[in-house]
Amino acid sequence: AEMARARKRDRLRWSKLYTFSCFHQPHTDEAAGPAAVSGSPVGGPGFSRIVHCNNSILHRRKPLKYPTNYISTTKYNVLTFLPKAIFEQFRRVANLYFLLTAILSLTPVCPFSPVSMIAPLAFVVGLSMIKEALEDWRRFMQDMKVNNRKVSVHKGDGEFEFRHWEDLCVGDVVKVEKDQFFPADLLLLSSSYEDGICYVETMNLDGETNLKLKRSLEVTLPLEEDETFKDFRGVIRCEDPNASLYTFIGNLDYERQVYALDPSQILLRDSKLRNTAFIYGVVIFTGHDSKVMQNSTESPSKRSRIEKKMDLIIYILFTVLVLISLISSIGFAVRIKLDLPRWWYLQPQNSNKLDDPTRPALSGIFHLITALILYGYLIPISLYVSIEVVKVAQAHFINQDIHMFDEETGNTAQARTSNLNEELGQVHTILSDKTGTLTCNQMDFLKCSIAGVSYGVRASEVERAAAKQMASGAADQDIPVQDVWESNEDEIQLVEGVTFSVGKTQKSSIKGFSFEDDRLMQGHWTNEPNSNMLLMFFRILAICHTAIPEVNEATGALTYEAESPDEGAFLVAAREFGFEFFKRTQASVFIKEKYTSSNGTTEREFKILNLLEFNSKRKRMTVIMRDEDNRIVLLCKGADTIIFDRLAKNGRLYEPDTTKHLNEYGEAGLRTLALSYRMLEESEYESWNAEFLKAKTSIGPDRELQLERVADLIEKELILVGATAVEDKLQTGVPQCIDRLAQAGLKIWVLTGDKMETAINIGYACSLLRQGMKQISLSTTAGDQVAQDSSLLCIRLWNLSRLQKRVLCCKSPMLHKW
């Protein structure tokens, strides 16, 4: 609690800036009107959950006895292990057969000792059950590791204590700090930001690396310190546990008012708090009631294709065995009837029922059983023993494989079940995303175009790969891709007079910045002909964003907490160019500019008036700011097609050159954004801002449309400044991996939202495409309904004997919408 009181609070109210994502209509039923109250499903079927905030003891007894926060993903427990494991073992046809023969071996017709039949069966079944137990024990230990994580929980009187996750109850108030996972599904009450904004990473839920914004109700914002929860009480009525990650319906009864809740206030279990010092939340769903656990399924009984194939083979062998035994028993019955009376030395008069010549049919039946046991080794029980031992050994080798060790996280591969080991060798198709899968999702600022001039001399990874393939003559010779990539050649001449380095490039010592061009570094940009445009370019990089600067207390270094890696790369680039963003307040952004004044480094304040954030529909971001000369400037960055459509007639001076550079950057596999600005008159801004505030505070289903319409009024008549190009590098070993997979006959599909030229060159860089391969490009026109409904770019690879063929298909021009 003392630490919480001592924590310096970030005094930022993002709702003053954010427009589309965060600012919603008031969450009270009074604001929504009587119709909203009467039409609410809360309290009806499927919406019966009641949560007493900060009073969890009520949920530990009936009628509100909710499950604990303990989770289990194991397949067995102490009581169910023996019956379930035995059932699993005797699902195998062979084990059923051996069980039958083991039972028959206890009868007098068995030609040898019962131990010889029972012992191998017990060994095989026992070994398989031990393997299942060990694998389930590993799952149990992983569950215990999660259940024993600790989180700060309110214990009463405004004091918090650490408890294990498994001890959490519905209604508990918890405090989660930066980079921690949420222990259960929570209702966000407040955060380290003054207006309850927090950033959430949902990569464990949906694979998305971009951060999501959550915002608490305004009525709970005063709950900002540990002591404020001493007398906190409230009642949440909401939907019952369900598997929908993106919906939530409920309301909060607090201080005699009812406030509507929606998904923007819900923090889901297994998502992580990012870029926010801490949050307070109240537990709504625990354990297996949480949405992520509702989406999980019980550990299934997995059987490989080989095992199913073996069952079929067992059926065939058993049929052959029965046929052989039947022929043998018929022959035995015939000989017993016809020949046994003449064989005096066998003393037929003393025969028992197993070889009674007076009852040959009965003797034949007994011999059939004997033959089934005697010829039973036609079905080899040792095969199953060998397979089980091999599977256990394979799982051990997978877990210990040094080539599958991740040095960054310190994690090794984990074979949670060895039943499907052989399936790894039967994969025939791979479907892969590009960003974050083939690439690192770590952006490096590499090149830029400013005022029609391209800057940045370092080659991209795609350019180096293409040059190496050209130099090696890959189009004419069958050279393994690893030889191309591991070439030690230092320079490649692409065309006459143009030479650049393609050898092992020196890694940049600055994370996020691989730019190299003396014309812009160390303040040399001030000597360029268009220094004013260069100044505007750098200021757009340093001001047009939503990032937060943080100082590392140990090293004193400044880092940026940004929503996307692209934004972080822009800020690092601005800092290296001499425009360091170092402070943000509620209304201003502060920049240290090194080379804009003769007095050395100057701290400048830029007042942020409005922020229209980036989203997938707008494809642009705009900041309206007031500089130190009291001028109002609109700064806008976004997709080139969006920005070019909004340029003024006098703002297209650099459009031809910038377009050329953008195409070059795209062919080099770089991610591009166009930068622009606009000077606003005071009267024009005041008039627009009044209409903007009116749309921002409106209530109704057309609020988003009104905001879009008002934003379009100001985001026009722009002046083009230039463009940025950042590189998302391929992960180490991707080209070699894809090449070997292709040689093994696997079909590979890679999906990306890049332009066609960019995708083709990235295909070459990652060895998905190679010189001399046939390419087929499919495209659609803008008016095609298919192009309007979907946008897809895919690269397909398959092998036909030794001939490799590639097909590139693209539905455009709506590609970037996808």
Residue whose entry in the numeric block shows the structure tokens 């039947």: 326
Residue 144: per-residue pLDDT:
94
Q: Is residue 416 part of a domain?
A: yes
Q: Which residue in 767, 761, 733 sits closest to 748, CA to CA?
A: 767
Domain edge (last residue) among 678, 702, 725: 725
Helix (H) or strand (E) holding 251: strand 250-254
What distance, in Å, lies between the first and last C-alpha atoms of the chain?
47
Is 686 marked as a binding-site residue? Answer: no
Phi (first) and psi of residue 637, to 5 degrees: -135, 145
Query: 572-607: buried (b, 16+ CB within 10 Å) or exposed (e) per residue?
Result: bbbbbbbbbbebbeebebbbbbebbeeeeeeebebe
Here the tokens at position 425 are 């060798």
Q: What is the pLDDT of residue 161?
A: 94
At 556, list the tokens: 């004193």
Could you tell me the two tokens for 179?
Answer: 């980079």
Residue 675's CB is within 10 A of a number of other CB atoms, namely 28
Contact 205, 271 (CB under 8 A): yes
Residue 435 assigned to a binding site: yes
Spell out the residues 6+ positions from residue 346 whose beta carbon is closer than 8 angstroms to its own: 340
Cα–Cα distances in angstroms (integers) from residue 717 to residues 188, 246, 650, in the given order: 41, 38, 9
Is 507 annotated in a binding site? The answer is no
- Distinct helix (H) and strand (E) counts, the chain: 22, 30
Give the per-residue pLDDT at 571. 94
Between helix 93-104 and helix 381-400 the angle, nearest 10°, is 140
The token duo for 125 is 């079944």
Q: What domain range is 554 assigned to?
A: 444-452+512-725
Q: Do 224 and 258 belong to one domain?
A: yes
User: Where in 504-586 does DSSP place strands (E)?
Assistant: 548-551, 558-561, 579-584
Q: Cβ neighbours of residue 618 under 8 Å, at least 6 residues apart?
A: 20, 612, 638, 642, 708, 711
Query: Which tokens belong to 474?
Result: 């890959």
pTM of the model: 0.69
Tell me, yes or no, whether 144 and 232 share the same domain: no
Cβ contact 451:723 at 8 Å: no
Q: How far apart are CA 694 and CA 700, in angstroms?
A: 12
Which amino acid does the sequence have at 492? I
Q: Tell me if residue 341 falls in helix, strand or coil.
A: helix
Question: Is 672 annotated for ligand binding?
Answer: no
201 is in an annotated binding site: no
Q: Is 614 marked within a binding site? A: yes
When divided into structural domains, the chain yields a total of 4
Give Cα 584 to chain centroid, integer Å: 31
Asked if residue 740 is part of any domain, the answer here is no
Chosen domain end from 289, 323, 341: 289
- Please give the structure tokens belonging to residue 792: 């897809």
Decide: helix, strand or coil at residue 232. Answer: coil
* Whole-number pLDDT of residue 5: 40
Q: Which residues are catalytic?
A: 433
Please indicate, yes or no, if residue 207 is contained in any of the structural domains.
yes
CATH number at residue 224: 2.70.150.10
Same domain, 140 and 182: no
Same domain, 649 and 547: yes
**336-339-342 Cα angle (round to 5):** 125
Look at residues 668, 694, 725 and tell me which one is the last residue of a structural domain.
725
Phi and psi of 274, rounded to 5°? -130, 150
User: Cβ(544)–Cβ(503) under 8 Å?
Assistant: no
Residues 6+ apart with CB under 8 A from 562: 275, 545, 546, 547, 548, 568, 571
User: Which residues have C-beta within 8 Å of that of residue 563, sequence separation ≥ 6?
Assistant: 199, 210, 211, 275, 546, 547
**Which pLDDT belongs to residue 593?**
93
Q: 101 with 143, same domain?
A: yes
Identify whether residues 555 and 637 lie together within a single domain: yes
Sort strands 453-455 and 439-450 into parallel, antiparallel or unpaired. Answer: antiparallel
**Is 567 within any annotated ligand binding site?**
yes
β-strand pairing of 548-551 with 558-561: antiparallel
Q: How far is CA 361 from each of CA 108, 220, 498, rounded to the nearest angstrom?
A: 18, 89, 96
- Same-domain check for residues 716 and 597: yes
CB atoms within 10 A of CB 771: 14
Residue 251, CA distances (Å) to 21, 223, 772, 815 in order: 20, 18, 63, 40
113, 186: one domain: no
d(CA 158, CA 85): 49
At residue 431, the pLDDT reads: 87
Q: 126 with 215, same domain? A: no
The owner of tokens 């757009």 is 540
DSSP string, 304-324: -HHHHHHHHHHHHHHHHHHHH
Where do the H-state alpha helices sit in 577-654?
640-644
Q: Would 48 be classed as within a structural domain?
A: no
- Comparing CA positions, the residue from 724, 714, 533, 542 lying closest to residue 632 is 714
Burial 436-446 (b: 16+ CB within 10 A, else e): bebbbbbbbbb
3-state secondary structure 657-681: HHHHHHHHHHHCCCEEEEEEEEEEC
353 assigned to a ligand binding site: no
503 assigned to some structural domain: no
Q: Quick check: 695 and 703 in contact, CB under 8 A?
A: yes
- As given in the structure block, the two tokens for residue 457 are 């001399």
For residue 489, count other CB atoms closer than 10 A to its CB: 12
Q: Pairing state of beta strands 792-800 and 803-811?
A: antiparallel
| Tokens 């043998």 found at | 328
Note whether residue 524 is domain-resident.
yes
600 in any annotated domain: yes
Over 468-480, what HEC string results?
Answer: HHHHHCCCCCCCC
Q: What is the pLDDT, as a whole number, of residue 266?
A: 93
Is there a binding annotation on residue 43?
no
Strands in 650-740 per DSSP E: 671-680, 719-730
Strand partners, 164: 150
Same domain, yes or no: 244 and 190: yes
Predicted local confidence at residue 717, as pLDDT? 94
pLDDT confidence of residue 289: 92
pLDDT for the residue numbered 31? 36
What pLDDT does residue 783 have?
45
Q: Sign of torsion, CA 191 246 165 179? A: negative
Using DSSP bridges, classify how beta strands 272-274 and 747-751 pair: parallel, antiparallel or unpaired. Answer: unpaired
Whether residue 122 is found in the same domain as residue 173: no
CATH of residue 588's domain is 3.40.1110.10
Measured CA to CA, the distance from residue 187 to residue 264 in angstroms comes to 9
689 located within any domain: yes
The tokens for 619 are: 């494809």
Give the three-class secondary structure for 760.
helix
Grouped pLDDT means (10 residues each) for the chain, 818 residues:
42 53 42 40 73 86 84 88 88 81 81 81 85 87 93 91 93 93 94 84 80 86 90 91 88 88 90 90 93 81 77 86 90 78 67 69 82 80 77 86 81 80 82 81 92 92 72 49 41 37 52 91 91 95 88 80 86 94 86 87 92 84 93 94 93 94 89 94 94 78 82 94 91 85 87 77 81 74 44 38 39 36
- Is residue 754 marked as binding? yes
Judge if 127 and 222 occupy the same domain.
no
pLDDT confidence of residue 128: 82
